[in-house]
């Protein structure tokens, strides 16, 4: 069974602490609005109808009494009814209802003062009725209802003593019953409001728990989905790897025959014919291209083992840009390097990490056919926030608090359309098939980074450019590390 939290209320005003009071007031208002309207209407009806009896018993003072009933109290009540259709009513509800109850009560006291003693029982009963409706039917908050009740009693006492038309014994008697009505009314009102608040609090708690449970369920569901996606992806990768290896093996042998065959033809049959020699050269170049693709397939299906040595990542990034210098200049791409000095050495395979950076730079290059800018940053960071691959799941490589090196390469290129962004690391996904793209560059890049115990995140906005972030772990002395050989 769920243990309920204890309700915390101000014992006098019954108010909740903080925002809960506001929520309760809104809820209470909506919940009892119809009842309040009905109570006002009932009050107006009885206040009005009793004027008829009054006229029969005491026709002399009818004018003044009717003025109080039909010109003040009843219109006041009807005004409240009318006003209650507006949203503004919510803010003034308590004041208006208390005001109306007090007006009705004081009206009765005035009428009592003006009437002969024989009428006293009539007004006395009316006043009791007003106290009942004030404490219960109108759903006025306890603190307000009690103030109104005691105020009416005080006015009654003052008027009775001042005008002195009530016999002392009757006054004593009626005072006793008014006090009793007030005390009982307060108890009822307190109890009604307390239990209404308690109900609200429990519903609120249950709702809160329900929301939290739903949130937990959603998180768990998302995790399961994410894991399932990863499993499918790794199964897919394994299948693709196996397929790629098979294809590579089958293709390499025919390629060997073609290469050896071209060598034979070059030597034995065609050297004199320039055109045919040119064709052979083209065939050989095509074979080299095909071999490159096959090599990539093999890299993908059986990646090279890492040769990890302590190395400066900034140096690898610099070397990668140096290797691409000519192409970058040719394509009018400006490179800005912003590398923090004195970064710690980390365990990397220099060659393979170079392949990572070159692949990313190449992608940027292809995304900027009209030129542009690449900004490269490397800095150290202690991860403080949960993110993609960081501290979200137990299986995440990084925990919040891990020390990492962040390597960012951002371009001002064409960007990647939203529907393609999730596929860019998929094997064989390429938008440059006609230009010889294999669709394995980013797949291999991701695989290298992951084998270094790192993660790679790609953010892109179509038309605005792409940012690739490689996060690599800084292993402190004694760390076992997450790198896979």
Partner 1 sequence: MGSNNNKKKILFIDDEVDLCKLVKVNLESLGEYEVTTVSSGEEGIKKAKELDFDLVITDFKMPGMDGEAVLDALKAMKPHLPVVFFSIYHDDISTIDTSVRNRVNGIVSKPIDHKHLYEVIKDILG
Q: Which residues bind partner 1 (CB under 8 A)?
A: 248-249, 252-253, 255-264, 267-268, 284, 287, 291, 294, 298, 302, 304-305
Q: Residue 394: count other Cβ atoms within 10 Å of its Cβ.
A: 7
How far apart (Å, rounded) are the C-alpha atoms in residues 363 and 373? Answer: 13
- Cβ atoms 353, 316 nearer than 8 A: yes
Comparison of 176 and 264: residue with beta carbon closer to partner 1: 264
**How near is the Cβ of 261 to partner 1 at its closest, in Å?**
6
**How near is the Cβ of 446 to partner 1 at its closest, in Å?**
20
**How near is the Cβ of 413 to partner 1 at its closest, in Å?**
33
How far apart (Å, rounded) are the C-alpha atoms in residues 174 and 156? Answer: 10
**How near is the Cβ of 255 to partner 1 at its closest, in Å?**
4
H helix count then E strand count, the chain: 13, 7
Comparison of 252 and 366: residue with beta carbon closer to partner 1: 252
Which of 451, 468, 483, 474 shows the shortest CA–CA distance to 402? 474
Comparison of 118 and 485: residue with beta carbon closer to partner 1: 485
CA distances from residue 167 to 52, 118, 120 in whole angstroms, order as listed: 26, 11, 10
Q: Both tokens of residue 102?
A: 């007090």
Which of 85, 84, 132, 83 shows the shortest CA–CA distance to 104? 132
b/e string for 14-37 if b means 16 or more Cβ within 10 A? bbbeeebbeebbeebbeebbeebe
**Burial class for 130, CB neighbours closer than 10 Å (0-12, 13-18, 19+):** buried
Comparison of 256 and 464: residue with beta carbon closer to partner 1: 256
* List of long-range contacts for 44-47, beta carbons under 8 Å, 24+ apart: 44/73, 44/74, 44/77, 44/78, 44/81, 46/129, 47/73, 47/74, 47/77, 47/104
**How near is the Cβ of 262 to partner 1 at its closest, in Å?**
8
Comparison of 67 and 264: residue with beta carbon closer to partner 1: 264
**How near is the Cβ of 258 to partner 1 at its closest, in Å?**
7
- Cβ atoms 290, 248 nearer than 8 A: no
Comparison of 187 and 282: residue with beta carbon closer to partner 1: 282
Comparison of 90 and 350: residue with beta carbon closer to partner 1: 350
Comparison of 167 and 305: residue with beta carbon closer to partner 1: 305
**How near is the Cβ of 350 to partner 1 at its closest, in Å?**
16
- Cβ atoms 349, 379 nearer than 8 A: no
**How near is the Cβ of 274 to partner 1 at its closest, in Å?**
21
Comparison of 15 and 245: residue with beta carbon closer to partner 1: 245
Residue whose structure tokens are 């040119």:
278
**How near is the Cβ of 246 to partner 1 at its closest, in Å?**
11
Residue whose structure tokens are 């006015």:
155
């Amino acid at each position: 069974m769920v243990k309920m939290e204890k309700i915390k209320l101000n014992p006098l005003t019954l108010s909740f602490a903080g925002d809960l009071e506001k929520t309760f007031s809104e809820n209470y208002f909506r919940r009892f609005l119809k009842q309040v309207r009905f109570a006002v209407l009932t009050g107006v009806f009885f206040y009005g109808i009793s004027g008829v009896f009054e006229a029969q018993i005491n026709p002399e003072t009818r004018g003044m009494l009717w003025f109080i009933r039909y010109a003040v109290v009843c219109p006041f009540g009807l005004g409240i009814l009318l006003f209650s259709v507006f949203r503004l009513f919510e803010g003034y509800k308590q004041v208006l209802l208390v005001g109306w109850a007090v007006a009705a009560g004081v009206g009765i006291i005035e009428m009592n003062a003006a009437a002969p003693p024989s009428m006293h029982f009539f007004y006395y009963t009316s006043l009791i009725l007003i106290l009942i409706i004030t404490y219960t039917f109108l759903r006025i908050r306890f603190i307000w209802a009690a103030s109104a009740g005691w105020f009416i009693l005080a006015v009654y006492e003052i008027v009775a003593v001042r005008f002195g038309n009530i016999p002392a014994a009757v006054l004593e008697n009626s005072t006793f019953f008014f006090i009793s009505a007030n005390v009982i009314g307060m108890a009822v009102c307190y109890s009604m409001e307390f239990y209404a608040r308690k109900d609200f609090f429990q519903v609120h708690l249950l709702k809160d728990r329900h929301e939290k449970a739903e949130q937990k369920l959603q998180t768990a569901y998302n995790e399961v989905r994410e894991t399932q996606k990863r499993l499918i992806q790794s199964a897919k990768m394994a299948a693709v790897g196996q397929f790629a290896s098979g294809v590579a093996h089958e293709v390499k042998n025919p390629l060997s025959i073609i290469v050896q065959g071209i060598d034979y033809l070059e030597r034995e049959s065609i050297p004199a014919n320039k055109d045919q020699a040119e064709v052979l050269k083209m065939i050989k170049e095509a074979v080299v291209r095909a071999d490159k693709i096959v090599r990539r397939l093999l890299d993908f299906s059986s990646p090279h083992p890492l040769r990890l040595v302590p190395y400066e990542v900034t140096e690898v990034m610099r070397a990668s840009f140096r290797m691409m210098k000519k192409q970058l200049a040719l394509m009018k791409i400006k490179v800005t390097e912003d590398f923090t000095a004195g970064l710690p050495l980390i365990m990397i395979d220099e060659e393979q990490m170079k392949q990572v950076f070159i692949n990313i730079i190449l992608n940027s290059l292809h995304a900027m056919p009209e030129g542009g800018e690449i900004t490269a940053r490397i800095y150290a960071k202690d991860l403080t926030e949960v993110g993609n691959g960081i501290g979200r799941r137990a299986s995440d490589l990084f925990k919040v608090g891990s020390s990492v090196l962040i390597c960012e390469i951002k371009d001002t290129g064409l960007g990647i359309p939203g529907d393609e962004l999730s596929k860019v690391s998929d094997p064989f996904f390429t938008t440059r098939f006609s230009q010889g793209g294999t669709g394995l560059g980013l797949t291999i890049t991701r695989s290298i980074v992951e084998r270094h115990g790192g993660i790679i995140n790609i953010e892109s906005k179509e038309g605005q450019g792409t940012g690739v972030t490689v996060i690599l772990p800084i292993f402190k002395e004694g760390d076992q590390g997450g790198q896979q050989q």
